[in-house]
Amino acid sequence: MNIRTTVYKLQKALLMQGRKIKINQIQAYSPKAGKMITKYIVIESRELEDGRTKNETLLETYSMVDIAKLLALLYRGDDA
């Protein structure tokens, strides 16, 4: 199983627990690496008592493995 599938399954499991986790991707050219790189931003959406939505950034990384580790911790019950 590849890492994207694992992340997707963890994200879906967290949604079933009531936690709304979004994963945004940003691509940019890195002159240092000489290629396009992808930055991932993990965001949790929470509804406030007055009905508004608050987005909290949990992680910014260049590695999908880091995202899988974070989501596994959240699923296990440890807060980020």
Q: Chain-centre distance of CA 17, in angstroms?
A: 16
Q: Classify residue 80: in a domain, yes or no.
A: no
- Region of 55 (left: φ > 0; alpha: ψ -120 to 50; beta: rest) is beta
Beta strand pairing call for 20-30 and 53-61: unpaired
Tell me: pLDDT of 70 over 80.
yes
The answer to whether position 71 is within a domain reads: yes
Q: Which domain holds residue 61?
A: 3-75
Specify if 60 maps to a domain: yes
pTM, full prediction: 0.86
Per-residue pLDDT for 80 more than 60?
A: no
Q: Is the pLDDT of residue 78 over 90?
A: no
Average pLDDT value for residue range 37-50: 94
Q: Has residue 69 been placed in a domain? A: yes
Q: Provide the domain count of the chain.
A: 1
pLDDT of residue 26: 97
Residue 64 has pLDDT above 70, yes or no: yes
pLDDT score, position 57: 96
- Cβ neighbours, 10 Å, residue 11: 20
Q: Is residue 66 part of a domain?
A: yes
